[in-house]
Amino acid sequence: MFYGSCRFGTSIFMNMSSLATVWIYNNHFALNQTWNSIGNAVGKIVIAFSGFLFGYISDILPPNMKLGKRKFFIWTGAPALALSFVMLFIPHLFIPLNNQVAVFSWLLIWNSLFNLFYGYLLTPYQSWMPEITGEDERIEVSALQNSSNLIATIVGLGFTFFIAGYLNEQGGIDSKAGIVLLVSVVVFAVIEIMMFLPTLISIKEKEIKPVERDIVNEIKTVMKNKNYVIWLIGQGIYSIGVTILLSLTLDFIEYIGLSGIVDFAIFGISMFGTVMISFVFWGKLAKKIGKKKSLISGFLYSSLILPLTLVVGKLPFLPVNVQGYIFGFLMGLGLSSIYLFPYAIIADIADKDSKETNEARAGMYTGFNSIPLNIFQALALLLIPLIHDPDNPNSLGLKWLGPIVSLFILLSIPVIMFGDFDPFLKKIEVE
């Protein structure tokens, strides 16, 4: 419970960053959409390599460090991440918003630092999972993590909707709404730090004998793992679609005609509440048919539902807001599988390697995963202006959001089918 709850604060950060940064810099910090996308894409490149680097370092540090080889990065990373998060959302207190270069530079610097410290903190934290859990526990632990993630997503999403309406109501960022934004992000920063303390105090690190390793050979070792490489490619492909979907969710809600805090909140609860509740369904299904088949089932379902963006809000026999709520509910069921399984899949791959080689390299598996994943996500952010750009009448339009996202999800299925992501399924069935 302590370990899974750590994700609450960081997930508020990441969801606000993913869902609100593009939106708020475009709509309230007056940054051009193209520069906005570039600034956010650079952040994804930074987190790709920071996750890999610090995951590797956390593997090779001696286990007898005073703060612990994984815990060291949590003790130091949590406050650094909190500071960069606060600064990312308050450029109006330090720079003129009518200067595009200044706003872009602020976004570039603080978004890059935010992503740097996110990888610094979260990769060693996530690498800890296979060292403190058994293979029969990871679906449940992953569900706890994702429950924290999804509650945090609802909080972050709800706050984003609230502050958007409040900014418009009060007349912009220089009004009382700007003060509310400042106070809120500081409160979120304190919450993020506090959520790690129970885990840091109560959970002891497993003593693992350090081994002299060369980073190049470590990369070669993990890249020889066929199932790991297959996962990297498949996850990267579908993450393009998911990143586009999450980045444009707020814009799509407005596009179909939902307005006001109440409509946005109900849509968020319909979508993300369904994701959280559905973890139970997907978790039970995975224990029967395996994570791979369950994940592919979720992909196929999502690929049928998401193209409804072509008609949501346009059906004459239902109120627009009801159409939005139903769509959010249907979309949440598919997204639940996409959220649930990646942590457990990486942990199983790392644990299987550890059992076969007698060497711990969970940090390498978790960290290296972030390089292709975040490069694919950076590409997704660069594609956003082609789909939705208020200054470009030639952009495709938000009605095509679902079909485009579905295309990337479908393209990942043939890749994932070649991998074995259930190395312990038979053992769990016997137990």
Closest CA to 205 of 349, 58, 57: 58
If you count them, how many residues does the chain have? 431
Task: Round to whole Å and give the CA distance between 377 and 412.
Answer: 14
pLDDT of the residue at 211:
55
* Residues 408, 338 contacting (CB under 8 angstroms): no
Identify the pLDDT of residue 72: 85
- Residue 417: pLDDT band (50, 70, 90) is very high
With a cut of 60, say whether residue 308 has pLDDT above it: yes
CA distances from residue 412 to 267, 295, 304 in whole angstroms, order as listed: 28, 11, 15
Question: CB 139: neighbour CB atoms within 10 A?
Answer: 24
pLDDT band for position 233 (50/70/90)? Answer: very high
Looking at 258-352, which runs of residues are DSSP E strands? none
Give 117-164 pLDDT, tens digit per residue.
998 998 888 877 777 777 677 777 777 877 787 788 778 777 776 776
Class of domain 2-430: mainly alpha
What residue has token string 């050979």?
217
Report the predicted TM-score, pTM, of the whole model to 2 decimal places.
0.75
Check if the beta carbon of residue 191 is closer than 8 Å to that of residue 5.
Answer: no
pLDDT tens by residue, 387-399: 988 778 888 888 9
Structure confidence at residue 85 as a pLDDT band (50, 70, 90): very high
Q: How confident is the model at residue 135, as a pLDDT?
A: 67
Distance, in Å, from the CA atom of 381 to the CA atom of 411, rounded to the nearest integer, reads 18
Q: Where are the domains of the chain?
A: 2-430
